[in-house]
Structure 1
Amino acid sequence: MAGATADDESSTKLVGRCSVFYYGVGHMLNDITSACWFTYLLVFLTDIGLPPRDAAIVMLSGQIADGFTTIFAGELIDRYGRFKVWHIAGSVLVAVSFSSVFGGCLPCKIIGSNSSSMQTIGYSFFAAIFNVGWAATQVSHMSMVNCITLNSTSRVVLASARNAFTMVANLSLYAVAFVVFNFNTGGTVMDVENQYRWIAYSSIFVGCCFVGVFYLGTEEPRLKREACEKGHVRISWTYWFNKLLYYQVALVYVLTRLITNVSQAFLAFYVINDLQMTQSSKALVPAVIYICSFIISILLQEMTWTGQRLKIFYSAGSLLWIICGIGILFLPSSMKAFIYILSIVIGVANALIMVSGVSMQSFLVGDDLNGCAFVYGSLSFLDKIICGLALYALESYQSSTPEVRNFHYLNVNVSVTRYGLGLVPAICALLGVFVTLSMKFPEPTLPHLMDPLLA
């Protein structure tokens, strides 16, 4: 009896800093490749001659594969566990397929055809494989949060750590990209492919190094022995579908991912085409965003968290995004230096909404650990499908209507790029505020884990 009490106390106490570090770096490979994927994939594909609609198809194919894999992986993880097996399998697929996407169209070389149709099929195939691996790694890593500790503050600390290392991954990518874009200015299709090949290979190397640290520092989670002896009863999907909070958290999470993913995908187009900035700005402007996000994420780790504070910080981040969205929509190219000020505010806003938005999932799960992978998987499914459709619609429309409306008195051409980077995130942020304020988070409950996850 005394041993059970000690185990319960171990599960609810604050997680140590080393443990937070080991967990936080586990998503680095996913994060650095994802940053490259959303920032540069559409730019890369259009630069090598693929029509915008075909480039959007490549992106959409990956998002659909990602979405369905999250459901599949979440179900199997809930049934059988084995978080680290799914994590390492997904990491291998990510490393291999990502190098194939930015390394050139391998099926085109095998068949000997460089037609747009063949390129679209070839890139879509490896995009799907990449996102299958990415989803398996993501679901297994996110599900671990609720198996590490049942202390609500520790869970938010872990979410903050993951967000902080996401910023480290992004900054690593943009540092490499800044060097590459400065020393190789592109020009021919071969030059463009070499640019992104260097960026891709460097990203994989850095990500794999940090994933190795994660494997060495973490242990496979074990449910309480008593629960295993009772048959490891899984929580039914209908349990979550009967909860109002599930739908509220799902909507907030999808809106949050729409804000970050859509804005990230159009940022490079915006600074080059709309603001007429240099090629290196494709790395410098996003780097400013992620430096600010990194600083804020570190500060958020030092806070004590409650459901009320999650709502306050998410609302604050959303309001900052609304202000930035309006600024982006009407910023003339003659005042392009102001993009760096907007980038600072966007970085702060992204950190606030991502940390609080992801942490809401942990509050939703509570101590229902036998269904946590389904929660993360189903929410990620919605995120991937909706983000993929949104990006496809915006990129396809951009090919036929580059300029939507002219504001001559501001010398601003309001393009689809401006809508994608400014208006869409601002609207999503506004909706997110309304949903967040209507939430009622449950109080933390008793632990159900035998041992802490991290060594």
Structure 2
Amino acid sequence: MQRSIHSISSDYTEIVRRLPLRLRFAYGVGHVMNDICASMWFTYILVFFHSVLKFSAALSGVVMLIGQVADALATPFIGLQCDRNDDFWLCRYGKRKTWHLLGTVGVVFSFPFIFSPCIKCEGSHQWAQLVYYAGFVIIFQFGWAAVQISHLSLIPDLTPSEHERTELTAIRYSFTVCSNVLVYCITWAVLHITSDTASNSQIGPKDAPHFQTVVIIGLAVGAWASLIFHIYVKEQGTSDTTGPQRRNTRSVGTILMDIQFYKVAGVYMPTRLFVNLSQVYIPLYLHDYLKMVATSLAVVPLTMFLSSFITSLIIERLNTKLGRKVSYFIGVMLGLTACVWIRLGNGKMYTTYEIYLVSMLLGASGSVMLVTSLGITADLIGQSSDSGAFVYGAMSFTDKLSNGLAVMAIQSMKCLSDCPAYYRDVIIYACGGSAVFGLVMVLLMKPFVYDDDDKNSMISATTNSKIIDE
């Protein structure tokens, strides 16, 4: 009996041992280009279109809505296609890595045009310019979705261990934070060092070349990171469906009939709303309500993501020791504390010192909530990694669509007259409400139930992880 257990463990030792530090690093940097572009998209897209290109608030919201809807529609399609085992020659490169490569190309050749003035149509009507930008936004979002889904769905493929998956998710998020920090450092340097205008000036049409510079530098870094990913991450073959490494499969219909699937979506969607809406509206809150200088639009988000990075280093241990529900609860409490502080904060002391403490709370909260929600999603997939891309695609569909509709609604309801407190209230109630909703859904979740093969696989993988650690 002992020999049999040891035999099963040794089979999974091979799987766990395929995750050396070099592979984990290479996997982590595989999403850097997406993270850099997402940071620019969520933090500065409304600022760029509204303050630089002088689009109306509602029309700026339409630009983001187009992108989010395009992303939402692309993710389920890409998820289904990414799970297919085709014999097409390009797919022999790896079904996940092929989509990652195609998406990377789409992002590189579309994103620079979004943060540039309309080529040969700068003086055209804003609706005409909207059509021009919409084309590039759709291409960018399709490419971004391809990279995101293929990268996420590699996690269940690389390891069957729950702790290993959480660690990979935490590493991935650490690089996400590093990418955001890089963007804000570059933005600060470009706006502060290369700007010829006064240091206390706010964002305006003169800053269009500065945004282009930030995008070009960011894409160059992202391209190198993607190259490292494609060189060092080797996707496992899927033709062998027998033996101890066999993955269990579930049809799309089975997944859609699982009530846990919708509960997980109910956690993932508000978590993403909290993270993305805070990222989108913090710069507008600083610009419109607090009247802070242009460089603060880089420094405050930078502080937020430095806090996220530090927090991400302990999330895996937090989830392991306290569990998913307690970890998520801690994240929500940090976020609600920040929302209350924003509501009460005012005056010179607040804008000079306290706003940075608030941003640290928002960053730590988003980090804990997001990594925990991704861990819950990986738990849902279990050993059915062949359907992993569809699950991540479906989660992303709810995320993108809800974010697009939320931003559009928020921008449409903004008063035409001066209402500086509007974006402050958006952060308080939209972000705070999202966090509370996510917590309610987490508390309603029941433990995941796996079939016998799943249980044996996960027990063996977990046991084997302990053997290797020892």
TM-score normalised by the chain length of structure 1: 0.89
Q: 1:232 to 1:363 in 2, by over 3 A?
A: closer
Inter-partner Cα distance in structure 1 for 2:343 and 2:132 = 35
User: Could you tell me which residue of structure 1 aligns to residue 14 of structure 2?
Assistant: 10
Write the letter of the residue equivalent to 2:424.
Answer: R
1:67 deviates by: 0.7
Alignment counterpart, residue 32 of structure 2, candidates 28, 32, 35 = 28
1:89 deviates by: 0.7
Report if the CA contact (8 A) 1:69-1:135 is conserved: yes
Alignment of 1:145-224 (within 5 A): 145-182=155-192, 183-184=194-195, 185=197, 191-223=206-238
- Corresponding residue pairs, total: 434
User: Could you tell me which residue of structure 1 aligns to residue 63 of structure 2?
Assistant: 58
User: Could you tell me which residue of structure 2 aligns to residue 252 of structure 1?
Assistant: 267
Report if the CA contact (8 A) 2:249-2:387 is conserved: yes
1:62 deviates by: 0.6
1:224 deviates by: 6.0
Alignment of 1:110-149 (within 5 A): 113-149=123-159
1:15 deviates by: 3.5
SS in 2 for 1:219: coil
Inter-partner Cα distance in structure 2 for 1:286 and 1:232 = 41
Is 1:348 the counterpart of 2:364? The answer is yes
Q: 1:136 to 1:399 in 2, by over 3 A?
A: farther
SS in 1 for 2:180: helix
Write the letter of the residue equivalent to 2:360.
Answer: I
SS in 1 for 2:293: coil
User: Could you tell me which residue of structure 1 aligns to residue 298 of structure 2?
Assistant: 283
* Unpaired segments ≥5 residues, structure 1: 404-412, 450-455
Alignment counterpart, residue 435 of structure 1, candidates 435, 441, 451 = 441
* Unpaired segments ≥5 residues, structure 2: 86-93, 461-470
Write the letter of the residue equivalent to 2:429.
Answer: L
User: Could you tell me which residue of structure 1 aligns to residue 90 of structure 2?
Assistant: none
1:442 deviates by: 2.6
Report if the CA contact (8 A) 2:106-2:139 is conserved: yes
Alignment counterpart, residue 327 of structure 2, candidates 300, 309, 313 = 313
Write the letter of the residue equivalent to 1:223.
Answer: T
Is 1:395 the counterpart of 2:411? The answer is yes
Report if the CA contact (8 A) 1:79-1:234 is conserved: no
Show CA shifts across 1:407-427 (max 9, x none).
Answer: xxxxxx632x11222221111
Report if the CA contact (8 A) 1:164-1:297 is conserved: yes
User: Could you tell me which residue of structure 2 aligns to residue 424 of structure 1?
Assistant: 430
1:398 deviates by: 1.7
Alignment counterpart, residue 378 of structure 1, candidates 370, 394, 403 = 394
Report if the CA contact (8 A) 1:253-1:383 is conserved: yes
User: Could you tell me which residue of structure 2 aligns to residue 364 of structure 1?
Assistant: 380
What RMSD, in angstroms, separates the aligned Cα atoms of the two structures? 2.6
Inter-partner Cα distance in structure 2 for 1:305 and 1:401 = 50
User: Could you tell me which residue of structure 1 aligns to residue 23 of structure 2?
Assistant: 19
Inter-partner Cα distance in structure 2 for 1:278 and 1:368 = 50
Q: 1:333 to 1:271 in 2, by over 3 A?
A: farther
Q: 1:360 to 1:324 in 2, by over 3 A?
A: same
Report if the CA contact (8 A) 1:53-1:399 is conserved: no
Write the letter of the residue equivalent to 1:414.
Answer: A
Inter-partner Cα distance in structure 1 for 2:342 and 2:171 = 29
Q: 1:10 to 1:224 in 2, by over 3 A?
A: farther
User: Could you tell me which residue of structure 1 aligns to residue 47 of structure 2?
Assistant: 43
Inter-partner Cα distance in structure 2 for 1:187 and 1:424 = 26
Inter-partner Cα distance in structure 2 for 1:439 and 1:193 = 47
Report if the CA contact (8 A) 2:46-2:61 is conserved: yes
1:367 deviates by: 0.4
1:21 deviates by: 1.1
User: Could you tell me which residue of structure 1 aligns to residue 88 of structure 2?
Assistant: none
Alignment counterpart, residue 414 of structure 1, candidates 421, 427, 436 = 421
Write the letter of the residue equivalent to 1:93.
Answer: G
Report if the CA contact (8 A) 1:32-1:170 is conserved: yes
Report if the CA contact (8 A) 1:62-1:129 is conserved: no
Q: 1:188 to 1:268 in 2, by over 3 A?
A: closer
Show CA shifts across 1:61-116 (max 9, x none).
Answer: 1111101110110011111361111001101111111111112223xx1x675211
Q: 1:14 to 1:346 in 2, by over 3 A?
A: farther
Range with bigger deviation, 86-95 or 433-442:
433-442
Q: 1:90 to 1:368 in 2, by over 3 A?
A: same
Q: 1:14 to 1:232 in 2, by over 3 A?
A: closer
1:399 deviates by: 4.8
Write the letter of the residue equivalent to 1:85.
Answer: T
Alignment counterpart, residue 322 of structure 1, candidates 332, 336, 341 = 336
Q: 1:188 to 1:214 in 2, by over 3 A?
A: closer
1:320 deviates by: 1.0
Inter-partner Cα distance in structure 2 for 1:112 and 1:437 = 51
Inter-partner Cα distance in structure 2 for 1:218 and 1:44 = 36
Is 1:274 the counterpart of 2:281? The answer is no
User: Could you tell me which residue of structure 1 aligns to residue 463 of structure 2?
Assistant: none
Q: 1:288 to 1:17 in 2, by over 3 A?
A: same
Alignment of 1:81-96 (within 5 A): 82-96=95-109
- Percent identity for Structure 1 against Structure 2: 28
Report if the CA contact (8 A) 2:75-2:146 is conserved: yes
Q: 1:333 to 1:238 in 2, by over 3 A?
A: farther
Write the letter of the residue equivalent to 1:156.
Answer: T
Report if the CA contact (8 A) 2:62-2:408 is conserved: yes
SS in 2 for 1:53: helix
Show CA shifts across 1:237-289 (max 9, x none).
Answer: 22112222211110110000000111111111111211111110000000001
Inter-partner Cα distance in structure 2 for 1:368 and 1:353 = 24
